[in-house]
Amino acid sequence: MAFKRTIQAVDTHAGTPMRVVTGGIPHIPGNSSYEKMKWLEANDDGLRKLLLREPRGYPAHCCNIIVPPSHPEADAGYIIMEQIEYPVMSGGNTISVVTVLLEMGMLPMKEPVTELVLEAPAGLIRVKAECENGKVKSVTFKNVPAFAAHLDAVIDVPHLGKVTVDVGWGGMFYVIADVRQFKGLELKPEHGREIARVSSMIREAAIEQLPVVHPDYPGVGITISQLSGPSEDPNADWKNAVTMASGDFSWDSPGTWTGALDRCPCGTGTCAKMATLHAKGQLKLDQPFRHQGLLGNIYTGRLVEETKIGDRNAVVPTVSGKSWIYGLNTIVLDHDDPFTEGFTIGDVWA
């Protein structure tokens, strides 16, 4: 064989690059997307690193693997991979997966609306895609229930002082801080380096000081942070900057006080934000919530019902957004390539 691994992928973005692997992956054991995710994590985590680290990826890259569905209602399954973890759910990645499945003909497209069910590791995700002339114009998905884990909690962040935060689950646990607490810091691309520094420090302090529990995912904690503030755009309600970890954090090493900014408005982050606003009485059911990312594009969220997760009050969110295909990719690993899991360098990685 010419190459050790040959993988077919469709590259998409909604700001953040979100790769969708469509072929070249051997059978992954498991009776659900969640079990397949856990098997991959335990037995072939080098694949995630190969696809997301240099030279095939970079700090803000995400990746998805299309897998056969296990649930009889599902049309397709997928596994989500990011730089430090396997999230059970991701909104932007879900929008990209739907776009690839329909625009590449892997599932039939029906105009003007295609309805389908995806099997994420978090469970079944029901989708409506608005389609026109063979293109996906918008994707709306019904997410897993979201809830507030902490509201207006005050944490001590070394080098920053006391910071007030919320923690919400939207498919991942987000620690969310109002950016107006930090003088001179604004949610705009040119402040990206400082946003990443402040956010990574808040995330680490929250991990240490604010315990969280999800009854379905033992051991899953806070892994991601969001700075939030009102938007100046009349077409948006709030603006956000989500920072994803790109390596291990250490208080003793300032070079690790960084991360990769999510370039899209962030689907699960939108759900977590809506859950915390609802818990504070600031967002009603069926009220549109237009959430803007750093690049100016917007996801529109909506809380459609109240529910429970264990003994916690929760809400069921929907999110609408758009993704674009930008490349068709055949990724290979040469037999002689010594970097079988890619590599990271401290100039741009934590």
Residues 236-249: b if buried by 16+ CB within 10 A, e if exposed: bbbbbbbbbbbbeb
In the predicted structure, residue 103 carries a pLDDT above the cut 90: yes
**Which one-letter amino acid corresponds to residue 247?**
G
In the predicted structure, residue 50 carries a pLDDT above the cut 90: yes
For the chain, count helices (H), then strands (E).
5, 17
The rounded distance, in Å, linking the Cα atoms of 145 and 34 is 17
By annotation, the residues acting in catalysis are 90, 266
Helical H segments across the chain, by residue range: 33-43, 45-52, 91-103, 192-209, 267-279
Say what percent of the chain tops pLDDT 70: 100
Instruction: Give 3-143+324-334's CATH code, choosing from 1.10.10.10, 3.10.310.10, 3.10.350.10, 3.90.660.10.
Output: 3.10.310.10
pLDDT band at residue 156 under the 50/70/90 scheme:
very high
For the chain, domain boundaries: 3-143+324-334, 147-320
The yes-or-no answer to whether 3-143+324-334 and 147-320 have a common fold is yes
Each residue's pLDDT tens digit, 119-149: 999 999 999 999 999 999 999 999 999 999 9
Token readout for 198 is 């402040």
CA 334 to chain CA centroid, Å, is 30
Q: How many residues does the chain have?
A: 350
Token readout for 136 is 């996906």
CB 92 within 8 A of CB 14: yes
| Mean pLDDT score, 23-33 | 97
CB count in 10 Å sphere of residue 322: 17
The rounded distance, in Å, linking the Cα atoms of 347 and 64 is 26
Q: What is the bridge-based pairing of β-strands 312-321 and 135-142?
A: antiparallel
- pLDDT at residue 1, rounded to an integer: 76
CB 300 within 8 A of CB 288: yes
Instruction: Give 147-320's CATH code, choosing from 3.40.50.720, 3.10.310.10, 3.90.950.20, 2.60.120.260.
Output: 3.10.310.10
